[in-house]
Amino acid sequence: MIQHKLTIMRDKETGSKDFRQLLEEISLLMGYEVTRDLPLEDVEIETPLCKMTSKKVSGRKLAIVPILRAGMGMVRGLTTLVPVAKVGHIGLYRNEKTHEPVVYYCKLPEDINRRYVIVTDPMLATGGSASDALTMLKERGCKKIRLMCLVAAPEGIARVQKDHPDVNIYVAAVDDHLNEDAYIVPGLGDAGDRIFGTK
Ligand code: PRP
Ligand code: URA
Atom of ligand 1 at shortest range from CA of 132: 14
- Centre of ligand 2 to C-alpha 191, Å, is 6
Whether ligand 1 lies within 6 angstroms of the CB of 147 is answered as: no
- Grade residue 89 by pLDDT with cuts at 50, 70 and 90: very high
Residue 187 alpha carbon, nearest atom of ligand 2: 6
| Amino acid 58: pLDDT | 87
**Contacting residues for 133 by C-beta, under 8 A, at least 6 apart:** 65, 67, 90, 92, 119, 121
Q: Is 96 helix (H, G, I), strand (E, B) or coil?
A: coil
Count of C-beta atoms within a 10 Å radius of residue 58: 11
Model confidence pLDDT, tens digit, residues 27-36: 999 999 999 9
Task: Give the model confidence (pLDDT) of 131-157 as tens digits.
Answer: 999 999 999 999 999 999 999 999 999
The pick from 89, 95, 123 for probing ligand 1's pocket by mutation, whose C-beta has the most ligand atoms within 8 angstroms, reads 123
CA of 99 to the centre of ligand 1 (A): 9
- CA count, 13 A, side-chain hemisphere, 61: 12
Around 38, how many Cα atoms within 13 Å sit in the side-chain half-sphere?
Answer: 22
pTM: 0.96
Taking the alpha carbons at both ends of the chain, their separation in whole angstroms is 28
